[in-house]
A and B are shown apart, each in its own frame.
Chain A
């Protein structure tokens, strides 16, 4: 029994990081109606930029390194939009998709170019996990959970209590209506990109702290985020959150029942089952004919 509970616990922690990735992805979808493939690279860049400030010549402490890294990731996210997505927004959403795939490929190879394909790490000494009645949690895992809760709580407060959050949600609900209501689109779009980038970077840093850094780390986790977004219904922030948790738990518990080689398949299979039975996601809304 404790075996399954431990798996569940690990699933919750992994899932909370997936949720961080998924929230940004789903926000971008909600406001701009396209699936941003290069979201995964924001994760990677967030982690690698932190490493850059953490190692010589900067050698800043970790928490200090994370701040400029997140800021720079936000700059990347914002300039993606400014230079590439914005000029394309009037056209077919599919061109946006192709552009984002190209961009993702470009950014991933840029990481390889600058930092090499090799595995990197923050060089933290491994620590024995803390034991709570037979369950083990490491400090970093706790940090992950805490940071995820922190970020998501801020998001919750921001979206529900501030005017900014309300205008964001209004835009995600109905783009044209929001424009009529006098919500400033450039400001909303800037805040969406900054939010998505910061969340992706934060998730990437946590992931890197827990494990390692490598150029494909974002791309591999992006599929999990996709699955979470789909599960929650695209554009639905809370759905993405729950979806992320669900994916984390499902794939970790799955290992108990079949070969770990199929761990990734859990998220994929979930996506597929969902498309079969609930094409709009669990919490998704119907969209009609124009």
Chain B
């Protein structure tokens, strides 16, 4: 589904991502771990078009997406989250969801004035869909609240809801569980598993190792911009390079 070949990106003298290649299958949850500054988020920015890459190729379902603008990549079904929560604080939760829905005919000027019925019908459908997603996330009571007033965890959930509105085929999540309480994490994990069952590929950056072990069939480990391991999470723990680069250091620190 997603094929990354020899992707390289540097900022001045700093080699942020160096010669990374990997493939993701059609379904499942894949985790990416690695110490801070190892290039994980940069790789996400590259995959979703926010950074231009210096070298390499990226294919998503046979589409070459390297250096395509973010919105085009997104329209293929590659939807991402950002490391910090980024709600649209002055819109209601429901509007946060409706606003991001793709292919809205009301976003063009002509249909607004010449086929208003179509616009109205689509609006109604989107509203129903949004309410469905909010139900799923147990956020329905907060639908009319301003997004800026939600708690951090609720915002994370709402962001997941936004991603669901976008009919994703591949979801890239940048630290989805960072900073939220265990109850919320459980809720989130349940949703992710359900999505996985529905045939959506999920690719996440995560620091919570037990969670990665529990969720992900497959794990990538990055260090200093390079992909140093690819395999099951169980094997990752036994790989000497990984231990040295990541787990080792962390266990010393702990």
Contacts and interface: CB of A to CB of B under 8 A. Distances in A.
Interface of A: 286, 288-290
Nearest to B82: A290
Interface in B5-23: 11
B11 A289 contact: no
Q: Chain B contact residues (Cβ within 8 angstroms of A): what range?
A: under 10
| Main SS at interface, chain B | loop
A290 B45 CA distance: 10
B51 interface: yes
9 contacts: A286-B11, A288-B11, A288-B45, A288-B51, A289-B45, A289-B50, A289-B51, A290-B82, A290-B84
Interface of B: 11, 45, 50-51, 82, 84
Contacts of A288: 11, 45, 51
A289 B84 CA distance: 12
Contacts of A290: 82, 84
Given A286-B11, A289-B45, A289-B50, 6 more contacts: A288-B11, A288-B45, A288-B51, A289-B51, A290-B82, A290-B84
A286 B12 CA distance: 10
A290 B50 CA distance: 10
Nearest to A289: B50
A290 B11 CA distance: 14
A290 B84 CA distance: 9
A288 B45 CA distance: 10
Contacts of B51: 288-289
A280 B224 CA distance: 28
A286 B11 CA distance: 9
B74 to A, nearest CB: 14
A288 B84 CA distance: 15
Contacts of B82: 290
Contacts of A289: 45, 50-51
B13 to A, nearest CB: 13
